[in-house]
Structure 1
């Protein structure tokens, strides 16, 4: 049952990432840095923080048997956000010698994701 919960959430998360990525790429067809996955990862981090805050009121230590966490935390947000694509895009920028863009992309991705997760967590705790 646990694998089914993760699979259901993951299916929705992967489709949402694809559609949101397309939307961003259509809106910004020639960005200086890869904004589609930047937005996806930052939004997904906010959503995961909000989820933790709303459902648990904190970051729980042991949730791997909780159905909501399996569906949303691991499944949906795990499939929606993508560290692997972030890595590919970062390496592409390095190979092109675009070191300023690498610094901007990595900084915005990491700091943005952390800050939006914390923000989502706090908002969720307050609601």
Structure 2
């Protein structure tokens, strides 16, 4: 059953990521991959919330492993970074790299703190 929950969550997460990426592809230029950037930061925040809630079982498998695993993307981030570097957009490359990693860590931490504070209320 856990495999089905992870698969269903992953399917929905990947579809949501694709839709968001398409939305931002039409609204921004390719100097900075805004869709992937926002998806990864929002996904980090949501994962922080889930982890901060200390949930486990089926809902964790569906949401954290499945949905957020399919929603966020390391591979697309990596390819976009390589494309920025190869095209000589070094400023965008370093900005994207640093903002994604630092922002992801910060948003995950904020999500965890918020959920822990909410649970203690």
Output the TM-score relative to the length of structure 1.
0.86
Shift in Å, 1:31:
4.7
Paired with 1:41 and 1:105, the residues of 2 have a C-alpha distance of 11
C-alpha RMSD of the superposition:
1.4
1:49 is aligned to 2:40: no
Shift in Å, 1:34:
1.0
2:90 alignment partner, one of 99, 114, 126: 99
In structure 2, the residue matched to 1:113 is: 104
Once the two structures are superposed, the pairs formed by residues 1-127 of structure 1 within 5 Å of their partners are: 1-28=1-28, 30-53=29-52, 55-56=53-54, 66-127=57-118
Which of the two has greater helix per residue? 2
Q: Could you report, residue by residue, the CA deviation over 1:88-115 in whole angstroms, capped at 9, with x for unpaired residues?
A: 0000011112211110010011011110
Output the TM-score relative to the length of structure 2.
0.90
Number of residues of Structure 1 aligned to a counterpart in Structure 2: 118
In structure 2, the residue matched to 1:60 is: none
Shift in Å, 1:32:
2.5
Paired with 2:48 and 2:102, the residues of 1 have a C-alpha distance of 14
